[in-house]
Amino acid sequence: MKRLAVFTSGGDAPGMNACIRAVVRGAVYHGVEVFGIRRGYNGMINGDIFQMTSHSVSNIVQRGGTILKSARSKEFMTPEGRQKAHDQLIKHGIEGLVAIGGNGTFTGALKFFEEYQIPTVGAPGTIDNDLYGTDYTIGFDTAVNTALEAIDKIRDTADSHDRIFFIEVMGRDSGYIAIQSGIAGGAEMVMVPEVLTPISEVVETLKQGWSRSKSSSIIIVAEGDEEGNAAEVAEKIRTQVGVDVDMRVTTLGHIQRGGIPTAYDRILASRLGLGALEGLLNGEKNVMAGVVNNELRYTPFIDTIKLPKPINEDLLRMVRILSV
């Protein structure tokens, strides 16, 4: 392979720039030409493609977001879109792709390969950590720390006013951010999509806390919890508690996507970017580079897409023990 391209796709995640940098510098190191594609599959279709050098990625390792920009592409879901994308790659002489994104991105890459045999190796870039085939995804550690900083701040107010706070964190299908930020933030309870926590159990925990004169409580709710979002959960609890308690709801929202990446995310992103690149150069295709038990591993897209990533039940047990 003499020429390849890298792009980011789907929601942005802190560390994507460190990953791009590793792909580009790795390509330079291995003597391969490398191009950048802007705005994911949209840019591939529109030919927003440009050559990158070592210098193109100077001083970006510490930046949030993605210098290649990102987008979701409806057009790439159509045969016509993919045809145009392929024409552009041919025009630029690009023989392989490194795709930084999540399952939507990988699904597109798989379809594209079936039709045009352009090999793609993926790197998992998503704050939700919901991808099978890697212990952690790029951006997850930063998102957890961002949520944690917010929880620390809110605890100041919760303690000062003897309040119960319901804090909603990201995670439509995955409770990873909720559990990790909840343990680290000393939350009294964590509600996640993977495990049903009945409202009655939350009420019970709160009442036990009051009986030990715990004056403030923090409950973390993943946005995709079965009992509803944080506001809905709080409302259900208010009804059941009976007595008048001071309850507040806050939704952390988009701040969880951005920010300066942590050391962990920059190193993981560098490792996965380099791993994806070297995999592609070694003939890997339609696989995602991941780190499992501290080792680089390639997992077929078909598995990352189909297989669920189980939540660590030990961590849920820890939440319960640590809030006694």
Q: Shortest CA distance to 202 belongs to which of 168, 166, 159?
A: 166
Task: Please identify which residue in 82, 84, 155, 309 interacts with a copy of itself, judged by CB under 8 A.
Answer: 155
Output the smallest distance, CB 16 to a copy of itself, in A: 8
Task: Please identify which residue in 51, 78, 83, 157 interacts with a copy of itself, judged by CB under 8 A.
Answer: 157
Q: CB pairs under 8 A, 24+ apart, for 46-49?
A: 46/84, 46/88, 47/88, 47/91, 47/92, 49/5, 49/88, 49/92, 49/94
Determine the interface stretch with a copy of itself among 104-112, 145-153, 236-244, 279-287 (rule: CB under 8 A).
145-153
* Site membership for a copy of itself, residue 83 (CB under 8 A): no
Q: What is each CA distance from 232 to 6, 115, 204, 313, in whole angstroms?
A: 41, 45, 18, 25
Task: Please identify which residue in 97, 118, 144, 189 interacts with a copy of itself, judged by CB under 8 A.
Answer: 144
Residues 222-261, interacting with a copy of itself (CB under 8 A): 248, 250-255, 257-260
256 is in an annotated binding site: yes
Task: Please identify which residue in 80, 114, 162, 313 interacts with a copy of itself, judged by CB under 8 A.
Answer: 162
* Site membership for a copy of itself, residue 186 (CB under 8 A): yes
Q: Which of 48, 87, 128, 156 is catalytic?
A: 128
Side chain identity, residue 48: D
Task: Please identify which residue in 63, 84, 86, 92 interacts with a copy of itself, judged by CB under 8 A.
Answer: 63
82 is in an annotated binding site: no
* Site membership for a copy of itself, residue 271 (CB under 8 A): yes
Q: Are strands 33-37 and 120-124 parallel, antiparallel or unpaired?
A: unpaired
Taking each helix axis from N to C terminus, what angle separates 176-184 and 313-322, rounded to the nearest 10 degrees?
Answer: 30
Output the smallest distance, CB 135 to a copy of itself, in A: 7
Q: Residue length, the chain?
A: 324
* Site membership for a copy of itself, residue 171 (CB under 8 A): no
Task: Please identify which residue in 153, 172, 207, 306 interacts with a copy of itself, judged by CB under 8 A.
Answer: 153
d(CA 307, CA 56): 36
Q: Are strands 33-37 and 49-52 parallel, antiparallel or unpaired?
A: antiparallel
d(CA 168, CA 153): 14
Nearer to a copy of itself, 94 or 269 (CB): 269
**Bridge partner list, 222:** 169
* Site membership for a copy of itself, residue 132 (CB under 8 A): no
Determine the interface stretch with a copy of itself among 8-16, 101-109, 193-201, 303-311 (rule: CB under 8 A).
8-16
* Site membership for a copy of itself, residue 293 (CB under 8 A): yes
Cα-based torsion angle of the residue sequence 14, 53, 111, 136 in order, rounded to the nearest 10 degrees:
-30
d(CA 27, CA 254): 33
Note if 128 is an active site residue.
yes
* Site membership for a copy of itself, residue 64 (CB under 8 A): yes
* Residues marked as catalytic: 128
Residue ranges for the known binding site for ADP are 21-25, 155, 186-188, 212, 214-216
